[in-house]
């Protein structure tokens, strides 16, 4: 019997950060990939600030596998820039302004812990603009942060893949999946495996949608080079303009920008800046978070796999997760138990 022939090696549903990073990872390994996407209101990547911070600031501990994730993410985004011949990835430092003397003391202690010490410094950034912000208890510096221009990357990815005929702008319903011998066919494309990268629109067990809101603001006269955190993040994107965020809400997640969140963010910002600012934009989206805050990656059927649960750290987690899924699907590498979808099945 002859082997079944397919138009592609992998079909991907969803072109948010998950689908875009996975498609690039697979293409780099020589796989033929087709992506289906119909942008829907509330999608997460459309509003992601793109910040990468390897520290859980609330507790001053490293985020999950921070060193490994950072190394892989940095290498992936730099390689991506070369492929696209542009700049998406901006390494930067983060100044965490201490709200109390107690927090300053905790930071001081944590800088002596070998697990987190490589990421922390006490008050040393060459950013003179930071001196103009109120810092009664000082600040600490988180090294090895960065931000990805997520929307810039996704726009260019969409244009490039559409031009090659490998991104189809359409919605995929369950009835569009046609079983064929050894795989699946969707809208005239076929492959041995389809990967669901549907973000918060998926009903996969263990997924928890979380609304997030943020602002774009202009702060005349403030030219920060570093990101700042005090209750909220302030991320410089050039021309005295900043992204500010984000909020977390677990109810009414699809309700879009709310006045409650706008008040919360402007209140925090007033305390952080103590100077006038102008709100240029207010955005909202829904994060695809998992119950245990780990990605959900792996095969979920003979011809199906899932790549989801990137939560609030998609930029940091997506490159490692895409590599892990690729090795699992094509090199029979075992799934890491912490990300295996079976934990929620």
Q: What residue ranges bind ligand FAD (CB under 6 A)?
A: 13-19, 36-40, 43-45, 47-51, 171-172, 197-201, 212-214, 245-246, 285, 287-288, 308, 310-316
Query: Among the residues of 112-248, which ranges form H helices?
Result: 150-163
Tell me the closest approach of the beta carbon of residue 38 to ligand FAD, in angstroms. 4
Q: Which is nearer to ligand FAD, 120 or 246 (CB)?
A: 246
Query: Among the residues of 90-227, which ranges form H helices?
Result: 101-110, 150-163
Q: Which is nearer to ligand FAD, 169 or 338 (CB)?
A: 169
DSSP output for 66-122: HHHHHHHHHHHHHHHHHHHTS--EEEEEEEEE-SSHHHHHHHHHHTT-TTTGGGEEE
Tell me the closest approach of the beta carbon of residue 151 to ligand FAD, in angstroms. 10
CB 189 within 8 A of CB 8: yes
Strands 304-308 and 194-196: parallel
Tell me the closest approach of the beta carbon of residue 274 to ligand FAD, in angstroms. 24
How far is residue 95's CA from residue 142's CA, in Å, rounded to a whole number? 6
Q: Which is nearer to ligand FAD, 183 or 209 (CB)?
A: 209
Q: Which is nearer to ligand FAD, 123 or 166 (CB)?
A: 166
Q: Which is nearer to ligand FAD, 16 or 183 (CB)?
A: 16
Q: Is the previous residue joined to 118 through a cis bond, with omega within 30 degrees of 0?
A: no
Tell me the closest approach of the beta carbon of residue 102 to ligand FAD, in angstroms. 27
Tell me the closest approach of the beta carbon of residue 31 to ligand FAD, in angstroms. 19
Tell me the closest approach of the beta carbon of residue 47 to ligand FAD, in angstroms. 5
Kindly state the helix (H) or strand (E) to which residue 27 belongs, with its residue range. helix 17-28
CA torsion angle 271 272 273 279 (round to 10): -80
Q: Which is nearer to ligand FAD, 181 or 238 (CB)?
A: 238
The residue number with the shortest CB distance to ligand FAD is: 16
């Amino acid at each position: 019997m002859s082997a079944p022939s397919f138009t592609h090696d992998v079909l991907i549903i969803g072109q948010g950060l998950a689908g875009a990073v996975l498609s690039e990872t697979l293409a780099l390994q020589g796989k033929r990939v087709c992506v289906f996407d119909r942008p829907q209101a509330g999608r997460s990547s459309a509003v992601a600030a793109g910040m990468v911070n390897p520290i859980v600031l609330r507790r001053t501990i490293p985020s999950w596998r921070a060193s490994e994730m950072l190394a892989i993410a940095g290498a992936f985004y730099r390689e991506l820039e070369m492929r696209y011949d542009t700049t998406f990835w901006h390494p930067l430092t983060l100044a965490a302004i201490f709200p109390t003397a107690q927090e300053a003391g905790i930071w001081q202690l944590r800088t002596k812990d070998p697990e987190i010490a490589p990421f922390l410094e006490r008050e040393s950034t060459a950013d003179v603009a930071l001196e103009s912000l109120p810092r009664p208890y000082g600040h600490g510096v988180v090294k090895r942060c960065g931000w990805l221009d997520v929307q810039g990357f996704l726009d260019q990815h969409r244009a490039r893949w559409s031009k090659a005929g490998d991104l189809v702008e359409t919605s995929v319903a369950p009835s569009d999946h046609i079983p064929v011998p050894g795989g699946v066919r969707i809208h005239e494309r076929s492959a041995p495996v389809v990967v669901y990268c549907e973000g918060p629109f998926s009903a996969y067990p263990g997924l928890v949608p979380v609304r997030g809101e943020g602002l774009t603001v202009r702060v005349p006269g403030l030219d920060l080079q570093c990101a700042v955190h005090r209750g909220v993040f302030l991320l410089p994107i050039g021309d005295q303009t900043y992204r500010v965020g984000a909020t977390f809400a677990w109810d009414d997640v699809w309700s879009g920008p709310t006045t409650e969140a706008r008040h919360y963010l402007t209140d925090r910002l007033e305390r952080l800046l103590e100077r006038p600012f102008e709100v240029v934009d207010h955005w909202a989206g829904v994060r695809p978070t998992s119950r245990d805050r780990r990605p959900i990656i792996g095969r979920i059927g003979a011809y199906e796999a899932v790549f989801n649960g990137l939560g609030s750290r998609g930029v940091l987690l997506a490159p490692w997760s895409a590599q892990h899924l690729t090795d699992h699907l094509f090199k029979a590498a075992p799934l890491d138990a912490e990300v295996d979808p079976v934990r929620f099945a």
